[in-house]
Structure 1
Amino acid sequence: MKVLLFCCKGFEMMEFAPFYDVLGWAKSEYGYDVEVDTCGFTREVPSAFWNTEIKANKLISEVNASDYDALAIPGGDHLYGFFEEAYDERFLKLIRDFNDSKKNIASVCVGSLPIGKSGVLAGRKATTYHLSEGYRQKELAEFGVDVVNEPVVVDGNVVTSYCPQTAPDVAYTLLERLIGKEKTDTVRRGMGFIE
Structure 2
Amino acid sequence: MPGPLDGKRILILSTNGFEQSELEVPRDRLKEAGAQVHVVSPEAGEIKGWDKKDWGRAVKVDKALSEARESDYDAIVLPGGQINPDLLRVEPAAIALIKSFYDAGKTVAAICHAPWLLVEAGIARGKRMTSYKSIRTDVENAGARWEDASVVTDAGVITSRNPGDLEDFSRKIIEEVREGKHERRAA
Q: Structure 1 length normalisation: TM-score? A: 0.81
**1:128 has 2:126 as partner:** no
How big is each residue's C-alpha offset from its partner over 1:58-112, in whole Å with a ceiling of 9 and x where there is no partner? 111001101110001110223xx64122332211111110011000011111111
> Of residues 11, 15, 18 in structure 2, which corresponds to 1:8?
15
User: Take 1:111 and 1:55, find their aligned partners in 2: how far apart are those partners?
Assistant: 20
* 1:46 CA displacement: 1.7
Name the residue aligned to 2:101: 98
Name the residue aligned to 2:119: 116
Which of these two proteins has the greater Rg computed from alpha carbons? Answer: 1
Q: Structure 2 length normalisation: TM-score? A: 0.84
- Report the secondary structure of 2:55's partner residue: coil
The answer on whether the counterparts of 2:11 and 2:76 sit within 8 Å (CA) in structure 1 is yes
The answer on whether the counterparts of 2:48 and 2:59 sit within 8 Å (CA) in structure 1 is yes
Amino acid at match of 1:89: P
The answer on whether the counterparts of 2:85 and 2:116 sit within 8 Å (CA) in structure 1 is no
Q: Which moved more, 1:9-18 or 1:170-179?
A: 170-179
How big is each residue's C-alpha offset from its partner over 1:18-71, in whole Å with a ceiling of 9 and x where there is no partner? 1111112122xxxxxx21111111122121233522111011100110111000
Q: CA RMSD in A?
A: 1.5
User: Take 2:71 and 2:93, find their aligned partners in 1: how far apart are those partners?
Assistant: 16
The answer on whether the counterparts of 1:126 and 1:154 sit within 8 Å (CA) in structure 2 is yes
- Report the secondary structure of 2:43's partner residue: coil
Amino acid at match of 2:136: Q
Name the residue aligned to 2:40: 39
| Correspondence list, 1:1-195, <5 A | 1-27=8-34, 34-43=35-44, 44-48=46-50, 49-78=54-83, 82-130=85-133, 135-179=134-178
- Report the secondary structure of 2:18's partner residue: coil
The answer on whether the counterparts of 1:9 and 1:85 sit within 8 Å (CA) in structure 2 is no
Amino acid at match of 1:91: A
Higher share in helix: 1
* 1:9 CA displacement: 1.9
The answer on whether the counterparts of 2:119 and 2:139 sit within 8 Å (CA) in structure 1 is yes
User: Take 1:46 and 1:70, find their aligned partners in 2: how far apart are those partners?
Assistant: 23
The answer on whether the counterparts of 1:9 and 1:82 sit within 8 Å (CA) in structure 2 is no
The sequence identity of aligned pairs, in percent, is 26
- Give unpaired runs (5+ residues) of structure 1: 28-33, 181-195
- Report the secondary structure of 2:126's partner residue: coil
Aligned length: 168
* 1:144 CA displacement: 1.6
Name the residue aligned to 2:182: none
